[in-house]
Structure formats: C-alpha cells, structure tokens
C-alpha cells in the first residue's frame, strides 16, 4: 500500500492522533503466526494477567477490551444494579464524550457535579450522594474519577485515598477512568498501585491507546468483591475480541521494561516544554493575548486566546477548542512529540500573537 499521509507531521489536538509505538508494533508481529485459542484463552492473555498482578497486586484481574468507552461502560455495568447511579464531574469523559453510552447501554444514571479543576472531592461527592432508599431517585452507588482528569490535572495519592475512603463509608464503589493513567504515574513518580489498589480504587479502566498502543484497553478489577459478570458483560457490550492475543501482546509490551513510563514521561515533558516556552515568551513581551486556564501537570496544556487567532493558528497546526465561548483551547502532546515539534508550534503561536 502507498503511504497516504506525511509521517513527519504532528499536531497538538490529541494523543490519539499519534501512531503506534514501534515496540508495540513489534509485539504484535511477535504474537502473529500459528494458531492460538480465540477469545482470551491464549498464552498472551494468560501472561497479561501475571503482568497486571505485578503492577496492581495479586487480586488484580484484567479483561482486555477494544477501547476506552467500552472499558468504562463494561466496568460500570459490572459494579451497579439497574437502578444504580454514578457520581462524576460534569467534564468526565463518561458524561461528555461517550455518546451517552453509559446511560444508553448500561441503563445507569450519571449524577454530575461541576468541578473547576476537573477533580472530585468528598465534599463535592456529597452534593449528589444522597437519597438512598428513595424509590423516586436513582441510587448513588458508585463514584467515577479520571486520572489524569479531562482538564489535565492530577489526583494525588492522598486525594484518591480520601475519595475512596469517603465513597466506601457511604457504601459506594470507586471506579477510575485511567485513559491517561501512565501520564499520571509518570507525573506523580509513583507506581500504579500507589494511587489505585493501595489507595482504595475498586475497578479501573486501564488506558493504552493514548500511550502508544494501536488499539486496546483493559478493565482491571482490583477488588473482586465489587464486580460481577464481567466475563459475560464484555461479550454483551461487544468488547470481546476473538483474536485477543493481539490486544494482550500490546499491553504486555507497554507494561514491560517501563515502556509505559518512558513514553508517558516524554509526553509530559513535551507539554511542560510547550508551557514554559510560551510563559517565557509572555514574560518577555514577545506574545500578548494568551493565558492559561489550568495547571499543566501531565501532557495537556489548556490556554485562552481569541477565537480568531486560534483559528488562524489551527490552519497550520491542528488542535481542538475546549470552550469556544471562553476562547479556551486544549493542546495535547504524545509519546512521539519532539522538541522541534513544540518549537515549531510555539513559533506559529508567536507569529499570530506577537506583541
């Protein structure tokens, strides 16, 4: 096949735009050839269970799936009865970017709470955690947090533990959407289990696509007492891969020899480089009309500028509006973003916003 795109072009719209990491592609090739039992009874999926236990503890059990929405929907369905509801932020991916799948597919109710930094707290959870026993109200039985959040911010280990303790005290289960969990671990400089298993998270959607996988995520059950029927729900939700060895092989490659950490650390560093370069230009008077709306704690930079300027810059380098009414945009870096890519982007911004 003839290549149809420029392999040297990189934008700042999403880490989903990046290709697959060469080591991940190599893992797929190694897993190819010959026959393996379908639907997860292969040696790679078996090995993945051992790898996940190394990272998350002995009780951990992984269920590979195709994508993040599938992971979130399947995980939440497994921990809730039909009358259950999930407390989440109003910016949560399960609320804003999954086409209503949690509510339409699972039949659950989302109870959302505004959070300026994208993070729940015990106090915020209490705004919707009430009404147990009231037959007129969906029952708040789970909390879902995202690490890193949709606004690029981080939950610390202590913050996750406080949410878990509070949720558990109310009889609620804690789900973590870990679409960018590797970026969080790299930024916090702690192992995965420090802010998941050991902090009280019950069930996890483990993300790989945003950190170098071709496709594939996993539902990881950390507390076996809270989840039921996943082996059936994965099929019911159309997330059961017949050739699962190729999903599992990618996850094994990501989680071996710290590829996940190296890739996430690099993408975080590129976001920091972008933020610092622009702050330096603002402080030096080179750029005007640009400010930042969130902390840059992982691989996302949230900025505010005029819509006209954003549109002109976007003609050269692609990125997304976050809140056009506020002039807020989101710039994402990936495992393959280079310093040269960042410098070229900064030059384009400077050209449009030059003081």
What residue ranges define each of the domains in the chain, with the CATH number in brackets? 20-257 (3.40.640.10), 260-353 (3.90.1150.10)
Which pLDDT does position 214 carry in this prediction?
97
Dihedral Cα 318, 321, 322, 328, nearest 10 deg: 110
170-228 confidence digits (pLDDT tens): 999 999 999 999 999 999 999 999 999 999 999 999 999 999 999 999 999 999 999 99
Among residues 235, 239, 255, 155, the alpha carbon closest in space to that of 201 is found at 155
Name the pLDDT band for 299 (thresholds 50, 70, 90).
very high
- Is pLDDT larger for residue 354 or for residue 294? 294
Query: Average of pLDDT values for 304-325?
Result: 97
How many whole angstroms separate alpha carbon 204 and alpha carbon 121?
A: 18
What CA–CA distance (Å, rounded) separates 140 from 59?
Answer: 26
pLDDT score for 314: 97
Residues 84-135 pLDDT 10s: 999 999 999 999 999 999 999 999 999 999 999 999 999 999 999 999 999 9
Instruction: Give the β-pairing of 109-113 and 84-89.
Output: parallel
Per-residue confidence (pLDDT) for residue 37, from 0 to 100: 98
Q: Are 281 and 309 in contact (CB under 8 A)?
A: no
Inter-axis angle of helices 245-255 and 22-31, to 10 degrees? 140
Question: Which distant-in-sequence residues (6+ apart) come within 8 Å of 146 by Cβ?
Answer: 89, 92, 93, 118, 176, 177, 178, 179
C-alpha torsion 231→203→73→88, nearest 10: 160
CA distance 53 to 311: 46
Across residues 236-243, what is the average pLDDT?
Answer: 97
- Residue 65's nearest CA partner among 92, 51, 45, 36 is 45
pLDDT tens sequence across 150-167: 999 999 999 999 999 999
The half-sphere exposure of 276 on its side-chain side, counting CA atoms within 13 A, is 9
Residue 285: its pLDDT value, please?
Answer: 94
Q: What is residue 6's predicted lDDT score, i.e. its pLDDT?
A: 93
């Amino acid at each position: 096949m003839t290549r149809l795109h420029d392999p040297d072009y990189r934008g700042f719209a999403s880490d989903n735009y990046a290709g697959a990491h060469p080591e991940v592609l190599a893992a797929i090739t190694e897993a190819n050839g010959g026959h393996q039992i379908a639907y997860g009874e292969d040696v790679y999926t078996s090995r993945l269970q051992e790898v996940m236990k190394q990272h998350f503890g002995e009780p951990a059990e992984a269920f590979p799936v195709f994508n993040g929405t599938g992971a979130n929907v399947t995980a939440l369905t497994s921990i809730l009865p039909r009358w259950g509801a999930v407390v989440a932020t109003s910016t949560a991916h399960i609320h804003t970017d999954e086409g209503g799948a949690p509510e339409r597919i699972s039949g659950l109710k989302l109870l959302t709470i505004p959070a300026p930094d994208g993070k729940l707290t015990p106090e915020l959870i209490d705004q919707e955690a009430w009404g147990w026993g009231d037959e007129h109200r969906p029952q708040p039985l789970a909390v879902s947090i995202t690490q890193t959040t949709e606004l690029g911010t981080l939950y610390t280990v202590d913050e996750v533990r406080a949410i878990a303790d509070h949720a558990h005290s109310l009889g609620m289960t804690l789900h973590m959407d870990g679409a960018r969990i590797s970026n969080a671990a790299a930024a916090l400089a702690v192992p995965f289990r420090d802010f998941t298993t050991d902090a009280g998270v019950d069930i996890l959607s483990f993300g790989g696509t945003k950190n170098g996988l071709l496709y594939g995520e996993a539902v990881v059950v950390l507390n076996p007492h809270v989840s039921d029927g996943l082996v059936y729900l994965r099929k019911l939700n159309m997330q059961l891969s017949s050739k699962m060895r190729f999903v599992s092989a990618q996850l094994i490659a990501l989680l071996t020899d710290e590829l996940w950490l190296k890739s996430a650390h690099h993408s975080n560093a590129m976001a920091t480089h972008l933020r610092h370069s622009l702050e330096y230009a603002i402080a030096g008077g080179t750029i005007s009309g640009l400010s930042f709306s969130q902390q840059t704690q992982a691989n996302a930079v949230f900025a505010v500028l005029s819509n006209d300027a954003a549109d002109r810059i976007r003609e050269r380098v692609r990125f997304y509006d976050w809140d056009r009414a506020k002039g807020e945009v989101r710039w994402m870096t990936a495992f393959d973003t280079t310093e040269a890519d960042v410098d070229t982007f900064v030059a384009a911004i400077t050209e449009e916003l030059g003081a």
